[in-house]
Amino acid sequence: MYVPEKIERILYTQEELAERVRQLGERLTSDYGGKNPLFVCVLKGSVVFFADLIRGVRCPLEIEFYKASSYDGTRSTGKVDSKSDVPDITGRDVVLVEDIVDTARTLSDVKARFLEKSPASLKIACLLDKRSCRDERFKNFSADYTGFEIENLFVVGYGLDCSQAFRNLPYIGVYK
Ligand code: IMP
């Protein structure tokens, strides 16, 4: 297996990720059957999770992409940079798909932008949640579908990066 020197240990293997993502897909299938939801991939980190997740949802759906970021290397900048326009979501059942919630600044900002466009409903699916790292302002923020809650670790792989590297690792690893 390819484990770069900067990876201290593997937190979730490819198999563990596949099983958890499959379970989330089952829940989404039962919650969205008959609704034609719009799944929105929050770029770039959620791209791998998104691709696996939507293939586990067994009902008609559509997809969109939205680019937002607030990280620089291994640190949150505290400033959310939204680089896309919010797609037309009026009256749609929207599921925002994110890789990880940390301070929750990014998703709180993205969620507010999406809610301004009057979706019929808006839910959030995220693979990882660092609950203990919430910004005080967003301490009650939680996703509707969460893969795993993790401690305050910097992790990479399965789409998550450190300065754009390691997104291609098929597992989630702890960065040294
Ligand atoms: P938040 O705004 O602090 O919740 O940060 C969310 C964003 O920061 C995520 O979409 C990631 O891009 C990035 N991020 C937070 N923690 C990590 C991590 O452990 N590894 C890689 N990216 C992270």
The Cα–Cα gap between 68 and 81 comes to 5
Q: What are the pLDDT digits (tens) for 61-105?
A: 999 999 987 766 677 666 677 777 899 999 999 999 999 999 999
Query: How does DSSP classify residue 131?
Result: G
Q: Whose CA is nearest to atom 11 of ligand 1?
A: 100
The radius of gyration of the chain's CA atoms, rounded to the nearest angstrom, is 16
Within 10 A of 84 (CB to CB), how many other CB atoms are there? Answer: 15
- Ligand 1 mean position, distance from CA 35 (Å): 30
Q: What are the pLDDT digits (tens) for 34-69?
A: 999 999 999 999 999 999 999 999 999 999 999 987
7-12, strands of its sheet edge to edge: 7-12, 172-175, 155-156
pLDDT at 80: 75
Task: Select which of 102, 109, 129, 161 is catalytic.
Answer: 102
Pairing of strands 7-12, 172-175: antiparallel
Query: Residue 135 in 3-state DSSP?
Result: coil
170 touches 158 (CB < 8 A)? yes
Active site residue 102: yes
Query: Residue 56 in 3-state DSSP?
Result: coil
Nearest 5 degrees, angle CA 143-CA 21-CA 136? 20
Q: What is the pTM of this model?
A: 0.95
Q: Whose CA is nearest to atom 15 of ligand 1?
A: 102
For residue 170 the two structure tokens come to 């098929």
Q: Which of 40, 42, 50, 71 to mutate to test the pocket of ligand 1 (most atoms within 8 A of CB)?
A: 71
Write down the mean pLDDT value for the chain.
Answer: 94
The Cα–Cα gap between 76 and 141 comes to 17
Task: Please identify, by atom number, the ligand 1 atom nearest to the C-alpha of residue 162.
Answer: 21
Nearest to 11 by CA among 123, 176, 175, 172: 172
The Cα–Cα gap between 115 and 148 comes to 26
Name residues contacting ligand 1 (CB within 6 A): 45, 69-71, 76, 98-106, 154-156, 160
